[in-house]
Structure 1
């Protein structure tokens, strides 16, 4: 399993719109993609960041989703108002409340 933590830095006036665009892209096609496990959107309290935490079965599945043209317009619009800082991670430990 792979985890992607993607941070979008925004002007606070654009934070809600970026959340909306990422929600539309994810609900519209990403959740249907083979290998998709989960996705959580996070909004910083100061209004300057939107963070997407997503888990995929493999890098190949993730790359295949990135080639799907359906979510592209939403991502492209988000990038007109946000600086994108992507990151891919391997899960090495998970802690849960007992």
Structure 2
């Protein structure tokens, strides 16, 4: 079995807009993204200083992720987020998982 595609998306935002971005990304995932073919999971994080929001997401494949980006139901959320946040996306593959034994 192939490893999933891992996305680590870091948004930089003014602290007064951090909660707005968290709510927007939550809405995007709950209403659209999680229903798209190939979505596995995502975890949303916010920085203690209020300046960043990070989403760790797993997709079955790069193709599935690319299809999500083309999905008209998902794209308006990212467009809205980019009006008040800077977006830095990274695609990764899992090399090793460490667990407490």
TM-score bucket of the superposed structures, by smaller chain:
over 0.9
* 1:60 maps onto 2:43 in alignment: no
Question: How far has the Cα of 1:97 moved from its partner?
Answer: 2.2
Take 2:58 and 2:97, find their aligned partners in 1: how far apart are those partners? 13
Aligned to 2:73: 70
SS in 2 for 1:93: coil
Question: How far has the Cα of 1:3 moved from its partner?
Answer: 0.4
SS in 2 for 1:7: strand
SS in 1 for 2:64: helix
Q: Gapped runs of 5+ residues in structure 1?
A: none
Take 1:33 and 1:71, find their aligned partners in 2: how far apart are those partners? 9
Aligned to 2:89: 86
1:28-47 correspondence runs (5 A) = 28-47=31-50
Q: Gapped runs of 5+ residues in structure 2?
A: none
- List 4+ stretches of structure 1 deviating above 2 A: none
Question: How far has the Cα of 1:72 moved from its partner?
Answer: 1.7
Take 2:37 and 2:99, find their aligned partners in 1: how far apart are those partners? 27
Aligned to 1:19: 22
In the superposition, the TM-score normalised over structure 2's length comes to 0.94
Question: How far has the Cα of 1:16 moved from its partner?
Answer: 0.4
* 1:7 maps onto 2:29 in alignment: no
Take 2:43 and 2:75, find their aligned partners in 1: how far apart are those partners? 19
